Chain A
Amino acid sequence: DQQVKQNSPSLSVQEGRISILNCDYTNSMFDYFLWYKKYPAEGPTFLISISSIKDKNEDGRFTVFLNKSAKHLSLHIVPSQPGDSAVYFCAATTSGTYKYIFGTGTRLKVLA
């Protein structure tokens, strides 16, 4: 049972435009969410996170939106750059645990 899902396995975006990556979850106990970026032959790198008490968190070109009622979060990258081309994972966890559940990943390709 996949508790965290990223339904788009891949996404192509033109350089300078907005990239929107989506993530859905089923477990209402999740209260902290993270986005990671992964290049080939490297481990995932943390990008941005959001607590369930917020609905938006922004860090430079990256913004994460959380819709708790829909159990949905999204990562917006504006403007997209070729160096953003990577696999993006969302992850979710519950306070009081060490368990992070990762989504299946979305491969983003930013075209120059």
Chain B
Amino acid sequence: DTEVTQTPKHLVMGMTNKKSLKCEQHMGHRAMYWYKQKAKKPPELMFVYSYEKLSINESVPSRFSPECPNSSLLNLHLHALQPEDSALYLCASSLVSTSGSSFGNEQFFGPGTRLTVL
């Protein structure tokens, strides 16, 4: 199984709602990532988990709250979002190299969740 799955595919939420995005992989990858991609822009890294511990937070606002409950699952909890947070949210996973980074390993991406904040 070389697939990263993401649910839901589409999400529309109001600024007062609380929702969660879910990502799952069964490739034994111990690094998992959240990216945000706006139209005609490159994916921008938000968070990285390595061995279920938060390794990188790219100064993301606290209205985005990541969670890695086990080695196969990654969640992104959303609360009090703004319309400018509307974007494609991509999850990815990769092996961890012996040096303890992702070096030399490609990332496998899910299809993304298209989020619209009204």
Q: Residues of A with Cβ closer than 8 Å to B?
A: 4, 31-32, 34, 36, 41-46, 49, 51, 89, 93-105
Are B109 and A100 interface neighbours, CB within 8 A?
A: no
Cβ of A6 to closest chain B Cβ, rounded Å: 9
Residue in chain B with minimal CB distance to A32: B103
Q: Residues of B with Cβ closer than 8 Å to A?
A: 4, 31, 33, 40-45, 48, 50, 55-56, 90-92, 99-104, 106-112
Are B31 and A43 interface neighbours, CB within 8 A?
A: no
Provide the residues of chain B in CB contact with A101, threshold 8 Å. 45
Are A104 and B103 interface neighbours, CB within 8 A?
A: no
Are B43 and A98 interface neighbours, CB within 8 A?
A: no
* Most chain B CB neighbours (cut-off 10 Å) among A95, A100, A101: A100
Are B42 and A104 interface neighbours, CB within 8 A?
A: yes
Cβ of A4 to closest chain B Cβ, rounded Å: 8
Q: Can you list 29 A-B contacts (CB < 8 A)?
A: A4-B42, A31-B103, A32-B104, A36-B109, A41-B111, A42-B111, A43-B4, A43-B109, A43-B110, A43-B111, A45-B109, A46-B108, A49-B106, A89-B42, A89-B43, A93-B102, A95-B101, A95-B103, A96-B99, A96-B100, A96-B103, A97-B101, A97-B102, A98-B48, A98-B50, A99-B45, A104-B40, A104-B41, A104-B42
